[in-house]
Structure 1
Amino acid sequence: MPQHVTPLPPALSPTSTPSPTSAELLDFVRRTAADTELVDSLPLDPEGRTWVRLDGPGGSEAWLIGWPPGAGTGWHDHAESLGAFATARGTLTENALAVRLPASGWKTLELADGLDRSRRLPEGTGRAFGRHHVHEVLNESTDTHAVSVHAYYPPLPLIRRFSRTGAVLRLEQVERPEDWQ
């Protein structure tokens, strides 16, 4: 749950502008991550992640997120939404699976070998991803906060959270927007 949430003015409705592409979302998060005044305005908490909702392009959902040392998201996906994120401060690590999971009808999956991908995203770098992207994001630093900017289109209809033990991925929880806003 967010510890600090300050809504900004609403974005244009999705019907008034074309849907943003993943490249446009990536451009937005990179430009926003470079806004030092905005990044410096985020309250940081030594105990948990903090975030502020931003006005994303073309009706997208966007967030500025602070990551204390050792914080992470756990394994999750963003359902039918495209996404992008960029590191504004510190370094984040993304662990991802190179596989599209079924949208429904399962609780446990055994993953094949060779699906794991890992990348470090130092300050100023970002990445875009497509629908059904399964990943976890971590601040592996033991002493430095990280800050990042994230954008999703369409706005997140849900987030599926998973646990992982070795090659076994288990669906643990489905969160809806009212759970995090």
Structure 2
Amino acid sequence: MRNRLPFPPPGRVLDAGELRKVARAVAEDESLWSDLLQHSTDDRGYAEIFLDEHLGVWVLEWLADDHDTGYHDHDHSGGAVHVAHGAIRHEHLRLGHRPVGDRVPAGEGFCFDQTFIHRMRREPGGGRTVTIHAYSPPLVRTGQYGEQDDQLLHRVPTSSQEHLSPKGRQGTPSTAHPPRTADIPQEDRR
């Protein structure tokens, strides 16, 4: 694969702050990734931009409000996400409580370490959304989380090549404006 980075490959494992700079720099140069997008509303689209033994960079396209990663971790990889177009909802799992979530609009991003569990989905009504994801070391495995039929939270190990999607029930999503108490299921009112 040719180098689709706007700088020479770093040649080492990067920390979360450095990954945030990588994701932003790649997001700001659409010529590095615009030809990789497939523009499908069926599933969230994704393509590899760059991969070596220290760094993996991906572009994801979110065209429908139901495009959702579900709760997941990144196994041994730290990472960063930068929103190039549109907006995503970034949610953090909280046990015994509603998740907390933030709208992340174009031009903004976030980073995380190897211990992070989160969920991303297109912000409802956010329009065409494109995000750039940078991982170091490169993403090999993820763990996907969801409530199963036994009503317990389970981790499903998956290859990084598998399309992330909700595995089991994901609980009540966060919203930009909290719903009225009457709209929250009794078990989530904590």
TM-score, normalising length from structure 2? 0.70
Distance, in Å, in 2 between the alignment partners of 1:20 and 1:58 is 11
AA of the residue aligned to 1:20: L
Give the number of aligned pairs.
Answer: 156
Residue from 134, 137, 150 that aligns with 2:117: 134
- Identical residues among aligned pairs (%): 24
Provide the residue aligned with 1:26 in structure 2. Answer: 20
Residue 27 of structure 1: SS of its match in structure 2? helix
User: How far 1:22 sits from its partner (Å)?
Assistant: 0.8
CA deviations on 1:15-51 (whole Å, 9 max, x unpaired) are x833211111100101111113335322210211111
Q: 1:1-181 alignment to 2 at 5 Å?
A: 8=2, 17-41=11-35, 42-55=37-50, 59-70=54-65, 71-97=67-93, 111-113=95-97, 116-142=99-125, 144-164=127-147, 170-177=153-160, 179=162
Provide the residue aligned with 1:102 in structure 2. Answer: none
Please say if residues 159 and 174 of structure 1, whose CA atoms lie closer than 8 Å, have aligned partners that are also in contact: yes
Task: Specify every segment of 5 or more residues in structure 1 that has no aligned partner in the other structure, as ranges.
Answer: 1-6, 99-110
Structure 1 stretches of 4+ moved >4 Å: 7-11
CA deviations on 1:80-104 (whole Å, 9 max, x unpaired) are 2111001011001100137xxxxxx
Give the structure with higher Rg (CA). Answer: 2
Whose relative contact order is higher, 1 or 2, with alpha carbons under 8 Å and at least 6 apart?
1
Q: CA-atom RMSD, angstroms?
A: 2.9
Task: Specify every segment of 5 or more residues in structure 2 that has no aligned partner in the other structure, as ranges.
Answer: 164-190
Distance, in Å, in 2 between the alignment partners of 1:119 and 1:143 is 13
AA of the residue aligned to 1:133: F
Residue 115 of structure 2: SS of its match in structure 1? coil
TM-score, normalising length from structure 1? 0.74
